Amino acid sequence: MAIPRSAGLPASPRRRSTRLLSGDYLSELGSGPLIGDGKTRVVVLAGPVASGKTTILCCLYGRYQEGPFADTSFAGSRTLRALEQVSYEGRALSGREVPTTPRTPRSQSGYLHLRLRPEASGIPMDLLFSDLSGEPYSEIIDRPSQAAYLPALQRADSIGITVDGSLLAALEERHSAAYRARILQRALLEHGGLRPDADVDIILTKWDVVNAAGTDSTGYARALVQELADNASETHDVASFVTCGRSLADGTVATGSGLDSLVNRWCRQKKAPMFGPTGQPQSSANSTDVPEPGAVA
Amino acid sequence: MSPARDQRSLLTVGLPSHGKTTFLAAVWYLLARSRPESNLRLLRMPGEVDYLNGICDSWLRCDSLPHTPSGTAYQVTLPLQTSLGQALDVVFPDYSGETVANAWALRRWPGEFDDLVRRASATALLVNPDFVYPATTIEAMALPGDVAAAPPDPSVPAAPYEAEGSPTQVKLVDFLQIAALRKARKSSMPIAVIVTAWDLVENQGRNPEEWFQARLPLLHQYLTSNSLRCPFAVFGVSAQGGPLPASRDELIRRDPVAKARLVRGNGAVSQDVTEPISWLIQTCR
Separation CA A131–CA A134 (nearest Å): 9
The whole-angstrom distance between residue B106's C-alpha and the CA centroid of its chain comes to: 21
A3 in B contact zone (CB under 8 Å) = yes
CA-to-CA separations, B268 to A111, B234, B237, B262, in angstroms, rounded = 45, 12, 12, 8
Interface test with A, best of B92, B176, B177, B213 (most A CBs within 10 A): B177
A252 in B contact zone (CB under 8 Å) = no
A33 in B contact zone (CB under 8 Å) = no
The whole-angstrom distance between residue A7's C-alpha and the CA centroid of its chain comes to: 52
Q: Do A7 and B51 touch (CB under 8 A)?
A: yes
Q: Do B221 and A92 touch (CB under 8 A)?
A: no
pLDDT, tens only, A135-156:
999 999 999 999 999 989 999 9
| Statement: residue A5 has pLDDT above 50 | no
- Per-residue pLDDT at B241: 85
Separation CA A271–CA A290 (nearest Å): 23
Contact B281, B8 (CB under 8 A): yes
The mean pLDDT of A175-184, rounded to a whole number, is 97
Q: Do A75 and B225 touch (CB under 8 A)?
A: yes
Burial label for A27, CB within 10 Å (0-12, 13-18, 19+), is: exposed
Q: Do B157 and A10 touch (CB under 8 A)?
A: no
Three-state DSSP state, B113: helix
- Per-residue pLDDT at B74: 81
**A–B interface: beta-carbon pairs under 8 A:** 188
pTM: 0.90
Separation CA B98–CA B67 (nearest Å): 10
B90 in A contact zone (CB under 8 Å) = no
- Per-residue pLDDT at A249: 63
Contact B96, B17 (CB under 8 A): no
Taking alpha carbons only, the member of A207, A212, A236 closest to residue A224 is: A207
- Per-residue pLDDT at A37: 53
The pLDDT-based confidence of A228 (bands split at 50, 70, 90) is: very high
B66 in A contact zone (CB under 8 Å) = no
CA trace torsion A45, A50, A51, A53 (10° rounding): 30
Find all residues with CB under 8 Å of A186, minimum gap 6, and list them. Answer: A144, A231
The pLDDT-based confidence of A39 (bands split at 50, 70, 90) is: confident
Burial label for A19, CB within 10 Å (0-12, 13-18, 19+), is: exposed
User: What sign for the dihedral angle of Cα B23, B25, B31, B34?
Assistant: negative
Which residue in B110, B154, B166 is closest to A13 by CB distance? Answer: B110
The whole-angstrom distance between residue B198's C-alpha and the CA centroid of its chain comes to: 12
B258 in A contact zone (CB under 8 Å) = no
| Statement: residue A217 has pLDDT above 50 | yes
Q: Where are the beta strands (DSSP E) in chain A?
A: 9-11, 18-19, 40-46, 72-76, 111-118, 125-130, 158-164, 199-205, 237-242
Count other Cβ atoms within 10 Å, centred on residue B45. 13
Contact A207, A55 (CB under 8 A): no
Q: Do A97 and B159 touch (CB under 8 A)?
A: no
| Statement: residue A283 has pLDDT above 50 | no
Average pLDDT, chain A: 85
- Span of A19-23, A46-50, A100-104 with lowest mean pLDDT: A100-104
> Phi and psi at residue A59, in whole multiples of 5°?
-70, -35
Helix then strand then coil, in percent of chain A rounded to 5, is: 35, 20, 45
Three-state DSSP state, A176: helix
CA distance A138 to chain B (A): 25
Separation CA B57–CA B52 (nearest Å): 8
The whole-angstrom distance between residue A16's C-alpha and the CA centroid of its chain comes to: 39
Contact B9, B182 (CB under 8 A): no
Q: Do A74 and B93 touch (CB under 8 A)?
A: no
Separation CA A70–CA A294 (nearest Å): 11
| Statement: residue A24 has pLDDT above 80 | yes
Roughly how many angstroms between the first and final C-alpha of chain B, as a whole number? 26
Q: Which residues of chain B have a CB within 8 Å of the CB of A85?
A: 161
Interface of B with A in 194-213 (CB under 8 A): 213
Q: Do B48 and A1 touch (CB under 8 A)?
A: no
CA-to-CA separations, B5 to A154, A235, B34, B88, B280, in angstroms, rounded = 56, 65, 20, 5, 17
B158 in A contact zone (CB under 8 Å) = yes
Q: Do A94 and B173 touch (CB under 8 A)?
A: no
- Per-residue pLDDT at A93: 92
Contact B97, B196 (CB under 8 A): no
Separation CA A252–CA A178 (nearest Å): 25
- Per-residue pLDDT at B34: 83
- Per-residue pLDDT at B275: 94
CA distance B105 to chain A (A): 9
A62 in B contact zone (CB under 8 Å) = yes
CA trace torsion B99, B101, B104, B107 (10° rounding): -40
∠ CA B195-B140-B137, rounded to 5°: 75
> What ipTM was reported for this prediction?
0.92
- Per-residue pLDDT at A174: 97
The pLDDT-based confidence of A30 (bands split at 50, 70, 90) is: low
Higher pLDDT, A296 or A185: A185
- Per-residue pLDDT at B71: 66
Q: Which chain B residue has the Cα nearest residue A118?
A: B225
Interface test with B, best of A19, A98, A119 (most B CBs within 10 A): A98
Q: Which chain B residue has the Cα nearest residue A11?
A: B73
Q: Do A97 and B110 touch (CB under 8 A)?
A: no
The pLDDT tens digits along chain B (285 residues) read 455 567 788 888 999 888 888 999 999 999 999 887 788 999 999 988 999 999 999 999 998 777 777 766 788 889 999 888 888 888 888 888 888 899 999 999 999 899 989 989 999 999 999 999 998 988 888 766 656 667 788 888 889 999 999 999 999 999 999 999 998 777 789 999 999 999 999 999 999 999 999 999 999 999 999 999 899 999 999 998 888 887 888 888 888 888 899 999 999 999 899 999 999 998 986
Before B245, cis peptide (omega within 30)?
A: yes
Q: Do A5 and B113 touch (CB under 8 A)?
A: no
The mean pLDDT of A79-100, rounded to a whole number, is 93
pLDDT, tens only, A126-135:
999 998 889 9
Q: Which residues of chain B have a CB within 8 Å of the CB of A75?
A: 221-222, 225-226
- Per-residue pLDDT at A284: 34
Per DSSP, helices labelled H in A67-196 are: 80-87, 135-142, 151-155, 165-168, 171-191
